[in-house]
């Protein structure tokens, strides 16, 4: 039994990083966690347990990996990442994260590329996926990125389009699509990516859903609310557009069609970045919420009483911040 496997993040960086690994050390089975959920499932456990060595790339889930390592399922692992996290110290795991020596990398694809002395459009795809065009302004990495573009004869707009197409897989919550993308990129050139009709179609579908939801939002006195049904992972983009483009000071979005689950997301504009307290309150009420100072999301099993409870907490919390949701929720 000599098998190796890769477990990778579902976004363009995770997919590109997995593809680079396979270009350098050969084809192997690839696994993505269930899209949008930061946990391993039985499928990943069985893939890992039937292998001698598992690579975890761009996967900011050190606790899940440590759990596996402490079980008998994992034999040996290489963990490659660029996220802020507590460095993994474990006899079964080789840990690679330049942040542990104080160097912030734009993407895991840059870390993997450096480890294997690799350079291709995939290196840039991961970087552009994670930090966008600010990659070219980053100290040191901007210059490296320009050099790769030049030597590979790449155009910036093609790279940006390729990120959009690769990311359409997770936007559609298509876990198998995500994994197939990594295998596809192992061989594909950027032109092959740009010609993937199915990805073009997926991207179009989710973007249409996003603009429909954005246009349906009710906005009054800077407070926005929208409710929609979508099986796609569009809600964070929807509230971002409503706050950024439609200039809402606060936006709450509800998705009641998320594959048997309900989602509620909230984002505030500049000057109101203090929603952490609300996250605490939701958690205190047993609702799985997570986020940052300006945005949070919660996901729970489709259940009206849980939805009511969460919305009451959110309404009260934003009222304390000086916002009234009742007008736009009618
Ligand atoms: Mn990343």
The pLDDT score that the predictor gives to residue 39 is 87
Long-range Cβ contacts of 239-244 (<8 Å, 24+ apart): 239/265, 239/266, 239/267, 239/295, 240/267, 241/210, 241/211, 241/214, 242/214, 242/217, 242/267, 243/267, 243/268, 243/269
Q: What percent of the chain has pLDDT over 90?
A: 91
pLDDT, average across residues 126-135: 94
Q: Where are the domains of the chain?
A: 4-195, 215-320
> And the tokens for 83?
């996220």
Task: Kindly list the protein residues that place their beta carbon closer than 5 angstroms to ligand 1, a single-atom ion.
Answer: 13, 58, 107-108, 130
| Same fold for the pair 4-195 and 215-320 | no
Residue 58 pLDDT > 60, yes or no?
yes
CATH class of 215-320: alpha beta
Residue 287 pLDDT > 70, yes or no?
yes
The pLDDT score that the predictor gives to residue 1 is 53
Ligand 1 centroid to Cα of residue 8, in Å, is 10
Contacts of 291 (CB under 8 A, 6+ apart): 275, 276, 279, 297
To the nearest whole number, what is the mean pLDDT of the chain? Answer: 95
Instruction: Give 72-120 pLDDT, tens digit per residue.
Output: 899 999 999 999 889 999 999 999 999 999 999 999 999 999 999 999 9
pLDDT, average across residues 163-192: 97
Q: Per-residue confidence at 283, pLDDT binned at 50, 70, 90? A: very high
The pLDDT score that the predictor gives to residue 71 is 92
Instruction: Determine the topology of domain 4-195 in CATH.
Output: inorganic pyrophosphatase (n-terminal core) (3.90.1640)
Ligand 1 centroid to Cα of residue 39, in Å, is 17
């Amino acid at each position: 039994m000599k098998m190796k496997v890769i477990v990778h993040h579902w976004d363009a960086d995770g997919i590109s990083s997995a593809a680079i690994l396979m270009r350098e050390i050969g084809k192997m089975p690839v696994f993505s966690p269930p899209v949008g959920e930061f946990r391993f499932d039985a499928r990943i456990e069985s893939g890992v347990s039937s292998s001698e060595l598992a690579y975890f790339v761009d996967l900011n889930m050190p606790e899940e990996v440590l759990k596996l390592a402490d079980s008998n399922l994992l034999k040996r692992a290489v963990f490659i990442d660029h996220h802020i996290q507590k460095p993994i110290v474990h006899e079964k795991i080789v840990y690679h994260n330049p942040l542990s020596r104080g160097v912030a990398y734009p993407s895991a694809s840059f870390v993997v590329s450096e480890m294997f002395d690799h350079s291709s459009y995939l290196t840039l795809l991961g970087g552009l996926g994670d930090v966008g065009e600010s990659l070219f302004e980053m100290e040191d990495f901007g210059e490296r990125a320009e050099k790769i573009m030049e030597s590979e004869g790449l155009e910036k707009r093609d790279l940006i389009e390729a990120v959009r197409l690769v990311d359409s897989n997770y936007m559609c919550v298509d876990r198998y699509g995500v994994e197939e993308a990594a295998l596809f990129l192992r061989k594909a050139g950027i032109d092959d990516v740009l010609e993937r009709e199915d990805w073009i179609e997926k991207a179009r579908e989710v973007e249409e859903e996003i603009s429909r939801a954005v246009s349906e939002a009710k906005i009054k006195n800077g407070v926005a609310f929208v409710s929609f049904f979508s099986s796609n992972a569009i809600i964070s983009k929807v509230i971002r557009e409503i706050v950024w483009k439609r200039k809402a000071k606060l936006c709450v979005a509800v998705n009641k069609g998320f594959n048997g689950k309900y989602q509620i997301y909230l984002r505030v504009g500049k000057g109101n970045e203090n929603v952490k307290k609300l996250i605490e309150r939701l958690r205190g009420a047993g609702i799985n919420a997570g986020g940052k100072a300006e945005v949070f999301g919660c996901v729970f099993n489709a259940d009206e009483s849980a939805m009511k409870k969460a919305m009451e907490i959110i309404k009260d919390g934003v009222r304390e911040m000086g916002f009234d949701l009742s007008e736009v929720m009618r």
